[in-house]
Amino acid sequence: MATELRQQVRMVSSIDEMREISKSFHGSTLGFVPTMGSLHDGHMSLVKQSLKICDHTVVSIFVNPRQFGPNEDLDVYPHDLEGDIEKLELAGVDVLFHPNRETIYPRGFKTHVQVDEITQHLCGNSRPELFKGVATVVLKLFNIVHPQHVFFGEKDWQQLAVIETLVRDLNLDICVNRVPLVREPDGLAMSSRNRNLSPEERTKALSLSKSLQSAKDQILQGITSASQLRESIKKIIFAESGTQIDYISICDPTSLQEKEEVKGRTLIALAVKIGPARLIDNCIVED
């Protein structure tokens, strides 16, 4: 019986050690995939893309407390370090950077990074600290790892827009690679938070992808009114008991400004609370 080949991933928790390893990769291309762990096929699609185009790949696992607000799910965010290491070794990742909170935010830490305008929409409207925390930790990780390429998924569309803006505005010598959203066979967008759903809640969560598909179908039939499409999406999601909608956004995919009509390239994005999990999903449509 054939056995799977595994390359032992180098585990690093020290900033100084991570920097020394990055220096040792000088002259070759280094790819970096920042994550909060509990890895799934969506994360691994980022890893595979890095392995495809880079000589070396570093993955980080750090659950960033500064992007969670009060009463959010920091304390119950899924953890599976042993399983994550196995996935990364089977993929052939060189280094896993796994710092603790005190390493990233030492005593006396006083600095943060703020990206304006695009952070005020979608998730940023109800989670005002989210993208300040994301931008700060991402910039720190970039400065520690020193990659040439970084990889982020389009499921977190707004986060990706924030990181692209950060890299552009601060003249970082980094290429941001977009990787398409990955879904389960039944259509559910892959998320670490899916692990916190009961079987019944997971069935309810399918309302997100179903409502997006319904909106796409309606647009193909000639319906372009954003308010009409929002009501249709809302009806499908609220058909499942216990769902709480944070937002339904029909907006410009670059500025994230809301649209009244679906004209040209448009982002439809959702955030819905189901049980203990706040889930997001999106799709791009063209009219």
pLDDT (tens digit, 9 = 90+) per residue, 256-284? Answer: 999 999 999 999 999 999 999 999 999 99
Closest CA to 11 of 123, 101, 96: 96
Backbone angles phi, psi at 2, to 5 degrees: -70, 145
State yes or no: pLDDT of 1 exceeds 50.
Answer: no
Rounded to two decimals, what is the model's pTM? 0.95
CA angle 222, 268, 183 (to 5 degrees): 110
From 43, 98, 121, 146, the catalytic residue: 43
Strand ranges (E), 154-219? 175-179
State yes or no: pLDDT of 78 exceeds 70.
Answer: yes
Q: What is the pLDDT of residue 187?
A: 97
Task: Give the model confidence (pLDDT) of 7-22 as tens digits.
Answer: 799 999 999 999 999 9
Alpha carbon of residue 41 to chain centroid? 13
Residue 246, Cβ density class (10 Å: 0-12 exposed, 13-18 middle, ≥19 buried): middle
State yes or no: pLDDT of 80 exceeds 50.
Answer: yes
Domains of the chain: 10-179 (3.40.50.620), 192-286 (3.30.1300.10)
**Length of the chain measured in residues:** 287
Interatomic CA distance for residues 152 and 42, integer angstroms: 10
Active site residue 121: no
Task: Give the model confidence (pLDDT) of 31-50 as tens digits.
Answer: 999 999 999 999 999 999 99
Task: Give the model confidence (pLDDT) of 110-162 as tens digits.
Answer: 999 999 999 999 999 999 889 999 999 999 999 999 999 999 999 999 999 99
